[in-house]
Structure 1
């Protein structure tokens, strides 16, 4: 039997749009899911919408709908899911989100895709112009600030959600191509391998996908 790892989404579980693709890369490791918005009605979730100055997150509900929430409203619920999964035997936790988070309490290894991505891009993209595709236009200021601190020459960002019409992603890719970026990060766990392949085809530059970077880290540590 493989090791059991908790997979915590900022939305609702199960993440049928994410976990199967990750599972294909982690061998015998078992992912057990939990979500910050599990058990909440849609009306309760819409009350978590961001206001001016909030850190904006975009995620998926179990019924496939996309929602925009403020990070501050779900931190305690994320901690509760981490605690539950560890108590049920998880030997590590993978956050299913590429956003920035404050430290959570966890006695087991806790993998943040954003940290993995930041260090990876810092290692391979020094001096290059970096392109970012983020789900929502309201996230552009925060991702531009974050990625500008990784040692790249410049950052260009465009919005296209993995939870909406794919044409918006292709338009974002075309905008980044016009900006002459040299490397692209698709900055959301919801982006798929199919979307990555298409963006690479449109732009002709390397594309980095959070879910596959995270999956390979899980495989290395727990596989």
Structure 2
């Protein structure tokens, strides 16, 4: 019997850059029901969700492949509506396709928040090691330092978007390598397996990829 899980992006679905790699881990017996907080919105409506001073910044992908910066607080009702939709369609669990921090959502099914899963997984293996974190946007660096403080023996954060030129990612990884990082975290669901492998090839340093950790947690719960 095919099981169903929900996948909620803070951008627009389908996330052709994310979900196929998650499906590869989940296998053919699990159907993924996608929905996006920004589905059906015009460019003008999306622009109105842009972060202002003091807003918690999220970076996501639109259906056309472009990226946008949005304020978390402004999309929470949209995310709740998409969660309700996939659960009504039969999802047994819901995975948020974002490593940002979110308040609780109302849901009778399990909700998997990649940031919590990623943080605990990393903390379990980073003891005594220098942790290098890459986030998509320079506006997220300070908040990221606070969120990852205390994980590992020391911490450095660099910004490079998975939705921009890949050379920026390699350069960020090189700076963290020069800082003597011993473990990398790619702190955005947009980073993919190819990026993870290339960083490891270039540096020889282990790399933690959020989508892979989240997908393997999900399969544990529904298989």
The TM tier, using the shorter chain, reads: over 0.9
Match of 1:81 in 2: 82
Structure 2 match to 1:221 = 221
Shift of 1:203: 2.1
Q: Which residue of 1 aligns with 2:162?
A: 162
**Does residue 24 of structure 1 match 2:24?**
yes
> Distance between the aligned counterparts of 2:102 and 2:150, measured in 1?
16
Which structure 2 residues correspond to residues 66-215 of structure 1 after superposition, within 5 A?
Answer: 66-150=67-151, 152-215=152-215
Secondary structure of 2:133's counterpart equals: strand
- Give yes or no for contact 1:131–1:181 (8 Å, CA) kept in 2: yes
Q: Is the 8 A contact 1:176 1:203 kept in 2?
A: no
The whole-number CA distance in structure 1 between the counterparts of 2:73 and 2:110 is 23
Aligned counterpart, 2:44 = 43
Native 8 Å contact 1:8 1:95 kept in 2: yes
Q: Which position in structure 1 is the counterpart of 2:15? A: 15
How far apart are residue 166 of structure 1 and its match? 0.5
Q: 1:36 to 1:149 in 2, by over 3 A?
A: farther
Q: CA deviation at 1:188?
A: 0.5
Distance 1:144 1:213 in 2: 21
Cα displacement string for residues 54-77 of structure 1 (whole angstroms, at most 9, x for unaligned residues): 111000001111001110100111
Instruction: Note the alpha carbon deviations across 1:126-176, whole angstroms, 9 max, x for none.
Output: 1211100111111101111101143x2121011111111111111111111
The whole-number CA distance in structure 2 between the counterparts of 1:55 and 1:198 is 30
Deviations 1:168-219 (A, max 9, x none): 1111111111111110000000111000011112222110000000111111
- State the superposition RMSD in angstroms: 0.9
Shift of 1:50: 1.0
Pairwise CA distance, 1:88: 1.3
Deviation string, structure 1 residues 100-141 (Cα, Å, up to 9, x no partner): 101111110111111111110111111211100111111101
- The 1-side partners of 2:196 and 2:131 are apart by 15
How many residues were matched structurally? 222
Question: 1:58-73 residue pairs with structure 2 within 5 A?
Answer: 58-73=59-74
